[in-house]
Amino acid sequence: MSSGLPDTARTGAATYPRMVGDIGGTNARFAFIAGPGAALSNIDTLPAADHAGPAEAIQAWLKRHGLPVPYAAAFGIANPVSGDAIRMTNHSWAFSIEAERKKVGLQSMRFINDFTALALSLPYLSDEEKRAVGGGQAMAGAAIGVIGAGTGLGVSGLLKCGHDWVPIAGEGGHVTIATRTDEEAATVRVLARQYGHVSAERALSGPGLLALYAALGELRGLPTPFDEAAEISEAAVQGRDPLCVDTCNMFCALLGTAASDLAVTLGARGGIYIGGGIVPKMGEFFLASPFRSRFEDKGRFSAYTAAIPTWIITAPYPALTGATVALQTLDVAA
């Protein structure tokens, strides 16, 4: 795999400047591309709740940095994208893409699922922008998977098509969660009383980590004083609270099962990448967690999954790179 941004140095300037973005349930991050071959600049993050919609957030970012209205933009967004209307699952924004384009004054505006954007970035990650978890060797040209927990649980993948990589725009975070131990199953039954259907996202996300903690505490008859996912993760990483340690280990084990399900479903012998905001912050805790052993625990297919490498994405803004790739369709038309 190559590293760095997509090569746009030979494209014309007619469709520049451009902007790219990564819009989640909590934050919206934007970057500017001044011209062909230019690096991402003016990277900045705005709280989504501070703005009525994408147009207002974009306008605030442009004003803050003294930038002109770009010609074109592409955004990854934590939501399914089908047609013009978007209503975010984990945030209050509901809008028409065309209406937002007109508000900002862009000539072209494109939205793709945020994990589709993340998947598009994978061929451009350098060795320094990912961290191996366990062994395995990537098979050239084979499918690649990506999964990541943040405000929600994102899932996507890449399939080789000729010389290009084609992303999968799915909603794999909403599959039914799979358990392997009696305590995991009992914990999910507690969650089912609250949610009915317990998707992978109900446990493998920021809100999910908090829900796992509360459910496991209920099963064990223990107090659960923490009310933020970041507090639970921090207490686990520092080894300060046994319930937090066990909650995060269960989180990592369940993520290992979800990742291996993705691997065998896609035939992702090119590797599985782990994105999102939660896992990279766990650091050494995650490496020592049950994630990899659970990933390889696939019964008759354990040798198959053991041969597949897994990596944590450590690049700071991979979805922005993926959104840049999504804009390359303009280069074909220009």
CATH number, domain of 250, equals: 3.40.367.20
Measured CA to CA, the distance from residue 149 to residue 276 in angstroms comes to: 5
**Cβ atoms of 23 and 56 closer than 8 Å:** no
- Cβ neighbours, 10 Å, residue 264: 14
* Residue 272 zone, left/alpha/beta (φ > 0; ψ -120 to 50; rest): beta
Pair of tokens at residue 87: 């209503």
pLDDT attached to residue 329: 66
Does 1 fall in a domain?
Answer: no
Residue the block writes with tokens 């009992």: 186
**Domain range for residue 70?**
18-120+317-333
Does 293 fall in a domain?
Answer: yes
- Residue 176: φ, ψ to 5°: -70, 130
pLDDT tens-digit readout, 149-196: 988 899 999 999 988 899 988 889 999 999 999 999 999 999 999 999
Q: Are residues 72 and 155 in the same domain?
A: no
Pair of tokens at residue 298: 């696939």
Q: For the whole model, what pTM was predicted?
A: 0.89
Q: Which amino acid is at 143?
A: A
pLDDT-flagged residues of the chain (< 50): 1-3, 10, 332-334
Work out how many domains the chain is built from and give that number.
2
Q: Which residues contact 318 (CB under 8 A, 6 or more apart)?
A: 118, 121, 122, 125, 129, 275
The CATH number linked to 49 is: 3.30.420.40
pLDDT attached to residue 226: 98
